[in-house]
Structure 1
Amino acid sequence: MTVTPELNNRPNKNGLHTIQIRITHNRKLKRIALEYAIPLADWNPEKKEVRKSNPLHLPINAAIKIKVLEAQQEALRSHIQDKPLTATQLKKRLKKQISGDSFIEYAQKRVDETVNPSSKSNLQSTLNKFKEFLKQEDLLFPELDYDLIKSYQRHLKKIGNATNTIYNAMKNLRATYNEAIAEEVYETDRNPWKRIKLKKEKTIRRRLNMKELLMVEQFNLRPGTAAFHSRHAFMLGFYLQGARVTDLLLLTWANIKDGRCEYYTNKGHKFTSKKIPAQALPILKYFRELSVNPKPTDYILPFIKLNRKKVSAVEFRDHIESVNAQMNGHLYEIADKLQIPRFSMHTGRHTFANNAIRASNGNIHAVSDAMGHSSIQITEQYFDAAYRDENDALGDMVFGS
């Protein structure tokens, strides 16, 4: 393997020639550019250095020697360890030293530092998929350019990913890149993500109308059964202003204070205080009577079987997801027996949002605050389409029945 400095034959837009490091191994050639560019006349091709006519010849020549020495040391170290480097591998290592940090390493660090188990899992899945596309090769920040991003978008579509799946994957990568810039891990004035348009399709969100909701609430189930508990849990989540499933499962009796339900959300760790409506009181009374003298730290719902302090965050998250799947299974059975479209625990959140926006005469800000959304745009997604009967009624008003 030989490592030699040289000058790029082609000038840049300023008429200067970039200094390069040429790596030759087994007749294969690789070149990496240094951050310096000089006039052609300032380069000494015999000595492979910048002539004294250039006012910066001393620091530039010193930088060239350092990079050549680093390359040679890296190759020698690899040879001693009996792990010979290819020209491509050596180029990658040198380029990292010259151009900046690894995007992949930074992205993994961001995943590792994420506390919320669900968010961590989502970020790790995004990164793993991107690494598969890169064939497990490293990727430096300057290499993550517009062409690569568009190529990855086309790849995701080609392998059958839906529009919203692609959107979420690209959104996570963009957030990682922008966070690195904000933390000054990487500096650039040409952010490729500013030219990338991410598309997202509107999804049809299942929600219960008032007739369906009443049917579910009054459906005859044997008390004490898992299905009975799941239906009660669904209604409790609805009455607690569309509480998220994880928050609902983690509620303890200590969260019930003076007619209010107060807790920190699992997503975003925001404090929320909800007035408990009269309709929810019989449900709470039922669950309280399931246990003899329940402790303040006991969960309200009888679903969590693991001690959160004795298992890992991943194990506990998997347990939560398993419980949610079981509850949804019971709700599917109820829907089938009632002969209505299937619904899940999360449907209660959509149902509350839709009822709340009507009851509040369109006060989206109040609804957004009640649901703990970070923006109005998120809340709008919960009721962006009217029911068929509402559309029919509107047509009748305009055109006559």
Structure 2
Amino acid sequence: MSSKTKIVLRKKANKEGLFPLAIRITKNRSSSYIFIGHYIDRKHWDERRNIVRKSHPNSELLNTLLSSKLAEVNKTLMELQFENNDISANRVKKELTVANKDKSFSSVSDEYLNELESNNKLTRFYADKVRVNHVIKFYKSRQLMFQEIDEGFLIRFQTYLRNNKKLSERSIVNNLIVIRTLYNRAIRMGVVEQKSYPFGKGKIQIRFPETEKVGLTVKEIQRIESLENLTKMEEHTRNVWLFSFYLAGIRVGDVLKIRWSDLYDGRIHYRMNKNSKLVSLKLPHKLKPILEYYEGHKLNPNDFIFPELKISDIKNDRDVYAKTNTATSKFNKHLKEIANKAGLDKKLTMHIARHSFGHIAGDRIPVQMLQKLYRHTSITTTMQYQSNFISKETDRALEEVVNF
């Protein structure tokens, strides 16, 4: 039976709900898959033509890559069949991965970072680029091989980040996660064997350190709401912060992208930037004065509510990312002044709006409902997040012991 090759979209999605592109090699009803390393939304896949639809922002580049990989697989297949017609699908895959044996940590990480950038995952791209550079600077060479990244290497690397880079324990964990991601990728590519994997039971285990999430109380938020001695920029910053808080702590990157056309039928409808999930929430009554404040500056029904992205090139993800970062830094600077004027002794940032919603929600709202409001994929994530703000039971237990 002849061997068949085909570009396919695999059925198992990753944590972000995207599906991996792969080359399928079939022989004698047995199939083996070579993963390309790119993930796309199912809606961008043309099942009939086995190509990425034009609706994907990088469809041309991805289809060129897929054609190139398919040609590489077919070439290797023909060469092997010339030697032995009874070649298996797994043998073809093995031959193709042998070429990857000499790939270094740097070359694998370069491919990984290029994928993040080409898929416009810029927040993760910039963060992970710094983490990859930490590894290269620690090793003092770009010729680091995965076989050298053992338990001893990772222990020394953690000490380097802690003492030389002065990173927090959470930041150190984030660096280890990137190394783990790249190591798993290298294993799939055939660069390094599974037996060399330095993570897991009895080896390097990644544990997230407990972090304190501080949220404001109802009285503290009321003090912010009632402030009158604010500058124009501080008033604008307060509006953005309250807009986020009133809508269950919408992230600032999403807040700035909200358009007037996203508001209809008394609800707000938007797509989360972090995981592309669609969100629909009822507009709280408290949002009315904020919306009225900006309505006079509306240029058209599709205009942004807040001004920060009005002058951005919305089709240029780098420009949007840069302007969002600049705006966030500006907001956090003014929030510090707002906190001083409100007499708060807690640090006030844009992200504290999300923590404050969780703090006030406490255990008053069922966790299933909070999961919907936060748009968490897993209820476990919601429970872990909310555990930072639920202390009623422990407080009561403590009181029962000491109040004698």
Give the structure 2 partner of residue 325 of structure 1: 329
Deviation of residue 123 (structure 1)?
Answer: 0.9
Give the structure 1 partner of residue 348 of structure 2: 343
* Paired letter, 2:331: M
**Per-residue deviation, residues 46-70 of structure 1 (Å, max 9, x unmatched):** xxxxxxxxxxxxxxxxxxxxxxxxx
Give the structure 2 partner of residue 84 of structure 1: none
* Paired letter, 2:281: K
Match of 1:235 among 242, 250, 254: 242
Higher relative contact order (CA 8 A, sep 6+): 2
Give the structure 2 partner of residue 373 of structure 1: 376
Give the structure 1 partner of residue 224 of structure 2: 216
| Aligned partners of 1:236 and 1:280 also within 8 Å | yes
Match of 1:192 among 192, 195, 198: 198
Q: 175-184 vs 351-360, which deviates more?
A: 175-184
Structure 1 residues 388 and 191: alpha-carbon distance in aligned structure 2, compared to 1, 3 A threshold: closer
Q: Secondary structure at the match of 1:303?
A: helix
Larger Rg, first or second structure (1 or 2): 1
| Aligned partners of 2:101 and 2:191 also within 8 Å | no
Deviation of residue 246 (structure 1)?
Answer: 0.5
Structure 1 residues 386 and 155: alpha-carbon distance in aligned structure 2, compared to 1, 3 A threshold: same
- In the alignment, structure 2 segments of 5+ residues that lack a partner are 1-97
| Aligned partners of 1:306 and 1:316 also within 8 Å | no
Q: 107-116 vs 391-400, which deviates more?
A: 391-400
Deviation of residue 218 (structure 1)?
Answer: 1.3
Pairing 1:104–2:109 present: no
| Whole-angstrom distance in 2 between the partners of 1:167 and 1:376 | 23
Deviation of residue 392 (structure 1)?
Answer: 6.1
Give the structure 2 partner of residue 206 of structure 1: 214
Deviation of residue 390 (structure 1)?
Answer: 8.9
| Whole-angstrom distance in 1 between the partners of 2:269 and 2:295 | 17
| Aligned partners of 2:363 and 2:390 also within 8 Å | no
Q: 212-221 vs 383-392, which deviates more?
A: 383-392
Deviation of residue 172 (structure 1)?
Answer: 1.3
Q: Secondary structure at the match of 1:297?
A: coil
Structure 1 residues 120 and 157: alpha-carbon distance in aligned structure 2, compared to 1, 3 A threshold: same
| Aligned partners of 1:253 and 1:298 also within 8 Å | yes
- In the alignment, structure 1 segments of 5+ residues that lack a partner are 1-95
Deviation of residue 185 (structure 1)?
Answer: 5.9
Pairing 1:142–2:147 present: yes
**Per-residue deviation, residues 219-238 of structure 1 (Å, max 9, x unmatched):** 1146x811111111111111
* Paired letter, 2:125: K
Matches within 5 A, 1:74-85: none
**Per-residue deviation, residues 290-317 of structure 1 (Å, max 9, x unmatched):** x15x32321111223532247x533432
Match of 2:286 among 269, 276, 279: 279
**Per-residue deviation, residues 234-254 of structure 1 (Å, max 9, x unmatched):** 111111111001000111112
Match of 1:175 among 164, 173, 181: 181
**CA RMSD of the aligned region, Å?**
2.7
Give the structure 2 partner of residue 44 of structure 1: none
Structure 1 residues 150 and 397: alpha-carbon distance in aligned structure 2, compared to 1, 3 A threshold: closer
Give the structure 2 partner of residue 22 of structure 1: none
Structure 1 residues 187 and 253: alpha-carbon distance in aligned structure 2, compared to 1, 3 A threshold: farther
Match of 1:157 among 162, 185, 189: 162
* Paired letter, 1:107: S
Q: 298-307 vs 207-216, which deviates more?
A: 298-307
Q: Percent of aligned positions with the same letter in both sequences?
A: 27
| Whole-angstrom distance in 2 between the partners of 1:350 and 1:150 | 33
Deviation of residue 103 (structure 1)?
Answer: 2.4
| Aligned partners of 1:108 and 1:127 also within 8 Å | no
* Paired letter, 2:332: N
Deviation of residue 338 (structure 1)?
Answer: 1.7
Q: Secondary structure at the match of 2:194?
A: coil
Match of 2:317 among 313, 320, 338: 313
Structure 1 segments, 4+ long, off by >4 Å, are: 182-187, 385-394
Match of 1:355 among 348, 351, 360: 360
Structure 1 residues 337 and 184: alpha-carbon distance in aligned structure 2, compared to 1, 3 A threshold: same
* Paired letter, 2:321: R
Pairing 1:225–2:232 present: yes
Give the structure 1 partner of residue 263 of structure 2: 256
| Whole-angstrom distance in 2 between the partners of 1:358 and 1:250 | 31
